[in-house]
């Protein structure tokens, strides 16, 4: 039996050089310690630096009210998002990066509903919300803090995104058990769509990321308005 051995041609022995492509990554600072916002950004390919803003939200809202700056829930979340971003941008750790601040509130029956904090507040809220609808507003404020100049404000852009949320008609037992988990006590509107409470939201009209607390489409829009390519935020 004759075995045929094929030899590679000279052309096939040539090694094609690999071109190493590098790209610049724009650092993003998240002015929040919200686990939901952090997970959302990471899912979108962004690994932010997280810094707690340390803003007294009640004091900021009260001061803005006294100055006549708040006439709607949208105004309130806009002002609070801006306050959070500016507080963090003033820190040395945030220099050389974009800084995003966010604030969310549920508008329901003419009220702005933030975090209930206490079980009895969450119980009462859910008994009113079940089977009804509300609008979740999230304010976004993005500061270009890459080249801060002492005494001068850094370029910044903001936007408020809103989504309508339709709640399921929960039984008293379901409400009590949900509140007992502790989840609704620490989130705006006393519900989540990315956690235990997701089963109690029947549908959403609008951007679901807005309901989580940070709209990726809003972040892209604001980045582009500041002259920053959104894809440069990716840590891929």
Per-residue pLDDT tens digits for 4-38: 333 444 444 344 344 334 568 999 999 999 999 99
- Catalytic one among 11, 56, 58, 103? 103
Whether residue 142 lies inside any domain: the answer is yes
Q: Distance of alpha carbon 195 from its chain centroid, rounded?
A: 15
| Helix (H) / strand (E) containing 107 | strand 97-108
Per-residue pLDDT tens digits for 36-61: 999 999 999 999 999 999 999 999 99
Rounded Cα gap, residues 142 and 228, in angstroms = 11
Between helices 172-180 and 119-129, what is the axis angle to 10°?
Answer: 140
- Domain membership of residue 158 as a residue range: 25-233
Whether residue 146 lies inside any domain: the answer is yes
Whether residue 7 lies inside any domain: the answer is no
Whether residue 13 lies inside any domain: the answer is no
* Lookup: tokens for 11: 């052309």
pTM for the complete prediction? 0.87
Task: Enter the DSSP assignment of 67.
Answer: T
Whether residue 201 lies inside any domain: the answer is yes
Whether residue 181 lies inside any domain: the answer is yes
How many domains does one find in the chain? Answer: 1
Length of the chain in terms of residues written: 236
Active site residue 103: yes
Look up the CATH number of the domain holding residue 84: 3.90.950.10
Rounded Cα gap, residues 232 and 23, in angstroms = 8
Whether residue 191 lies inside any domain: the answer is yes
Whether residue 34 lies inside any domain: the answer is yes
**For position 136, what pLDDT does the model report?**
97
């Amino acid at each position: 039996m004759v075995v045929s051995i094929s030899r590679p041609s000279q052309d096939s022995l040539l090694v094609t050089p690999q071109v190493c492509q590098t790209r610049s990554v724009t650092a993003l600072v998240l002015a929040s310690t919200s686990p939901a916002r952090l997970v959302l950004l990471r899912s979108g390919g962004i690994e932010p630096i997280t810094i707690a803003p340390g803003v007294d939200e009640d004091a900021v809202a009260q001061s803005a009210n006294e100055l006549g700056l708040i006439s709607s829930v949208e105004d309130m979340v806009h002002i609070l998002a801006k306050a959070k971003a500016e507080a963090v941008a003033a820190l040395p750790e945030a220099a050389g990066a974009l800084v995003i601040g966010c604030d969310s509130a549920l508008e329901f029956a003419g009220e702005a509903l933030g975090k209930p904090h206490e079980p009895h507040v969450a119980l009462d809220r859910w008994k009113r919300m079940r089977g009804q609808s509300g609008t979740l507003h999230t304010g976004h404020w993005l500061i270009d803090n890459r080249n801060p100049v002492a005494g001068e404000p850094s370029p910044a852009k903001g936007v408020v995104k809103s989504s309508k949320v339709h709640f399921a008609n929960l039984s008293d037992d379901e409400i009590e058990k949900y509140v007992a988990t502790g989840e609704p006590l620490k989130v705006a509107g006393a519900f989540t769509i990315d956690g235990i409470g997701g089963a109690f939201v029947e549908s959403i009209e609008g951007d679901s990321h807005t309901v989580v607390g940070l709209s990726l489409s809003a972040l892209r829009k604001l980045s582009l308005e500041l002259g920053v390519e959104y894809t440069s935020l990716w840590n891929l």
